[in-house]
Amino acid sequence: MENSTYQLIEDCNATNKALYKFYAAVMIVIFILALPLNASVLHLFIFKLKFWKSNSNNIFLFNLVLADILLLFCLPIKAYNFIQGERRSENDVVCKAMLFMLFLNRGASIAFLTVTSIDRYFNVVHPGRKNLLRALKKSPQISVLIWLLLLPLTIPTMLKTFECCNSHKTTQDDTLVKDVVDSLREVVFFTQIVIPFVILVYCTVHIVNRLRKKTVGDRTKLRRAVFLVTTVMVVFSICFLPCALARMVLLITRIENMSEPAQDKAAVAFDGLMVLSYMDCLLDPLVYCFCSTKFKALYLTNYFPFLVKDAQVPTESSTGNMSHPTSHPTCNNVI
């Protein structure tokens, strides 16, 4: 029985089919809820805000929602594999295409969340200082550059054994090259999460301290701004840190050559927390809503007008400068 379980792990088949069907159901729910939400936000960025004409970080937020939508299209395929009792597609082309899309777009989502936080950091902590990011964000070139820089990072993650969590697994075919490739793959996985998290913590702490020391202005608006800058940290902590910790535990079970049941439990937990990471597509729109009260008003008046009472509908001329409404200077300086 133990050898049978070992073979299932090696073949990337689910040893607990009922649990993986639950994972699939969670992904389907995320897809159903997040796709129309992100599509509606994308529609606003393109047709109402005309993000390419904006000098604010609307360009970064547009790329963030674009990455989330592309990631969402992977979820039905992933859910189908789980329902079939497979941790990945048996078709090699489909498997590698899925890994490419998952890691590229999840990496882009993390990257644009991080860049947005860095931009907020300079706007709040060093408002008068010139910086390269402030100059570059006025054009889409920096967004294109971020996408291009992420492409090479997808190569190690698409290697055969990554999706099935078999890095550093003791086998008869162990070689120095295999160990180096496994290590490189794990470095890419962890740095994609750990480095942005450190940057987010640094930026958020300094932003919160700066806003708390600010004595001029409406305290309600200041509290709203503090809540805004912590939103990204919360989203990141919920979606990405748990799967990184689970991956670390899994690697320890592999390197220490623990029992197969222990390795299988660690792999199942990692798969489940990777599913949790897809919640990012559902939580990112919170960032857009807290960017500006005008964005929230624009969204409600376009899609839920019955919820808006005696509110002035934002015009396209005003939405083009949405990130800097005069009524909320503190919040918008943060964004």
More confident site: 133 or 22: 22
pLDDT tens sequence across 134-160: 666 666 778 888 899 888 888 776 665
Q: What is the mean pLDDT of the chain?
A: 78
CA distance 238 to 23: 17
Cα gap 249→243, rounded to integer Å: 10
**Cβ–Cβ contacts within 10 Å for residue 329, how many?**
14
> What count of residues does the chain have?
335
For residues 114 and 141, what is the distance between their CA atoms, to the nearest angstrom? 17
79 pLDDT higher than 90: yes
Does residue 53 surpass a pLDDT of 70? yes
State the pLDDT confidence band at 82, using cuts at 50, 70 and 90: very high
* Segment 262-270 mean pLDDT: 89
pLDDT of residue 188: 82
- Which range is most confident: 80-84, 112-116, 252-256, 314-318? 80-84
Helix axes 219-239, 241-255, angle to 10 degrees: 30
Of 208, 164, 174, 136, the closest CA to residue 15 belongs to 164
Whether the CB-CB separation of 273 and 246 falls below 8 Å is answered with: yes
Between the ranges 149-158, 215-224, 244-253, where is the mean pLDDT highest? 244-253
pLDDT band at 131 (very low <50, low <70, confident <90, very high): low
Q: Which CATH class is domain 12-166+173-334?
A: mainly alpha
Residue 186: predicted pLDDT:
82
- Stated pTM of the model: 0.82
CA distance 142 to 146: 6
CA 249/CA 62 separation, integer angstroms? 35
Whether 13 has a pLDDT exceeding 60, the answer reads yes
Q: Who has greater pLDDT, 200 or 161? A: 200
Mean pLDDT comparison of 22-31, 47-56, 281-290, 292-301, highest-scoring range: 22-31
The predicted model gives 53-64 an average pLDDT of 76
Q: What is the pLDDT of residue 229?
A: 74
Confidence of residue 102 (pLDDT cuts 50, 70, 90): confident
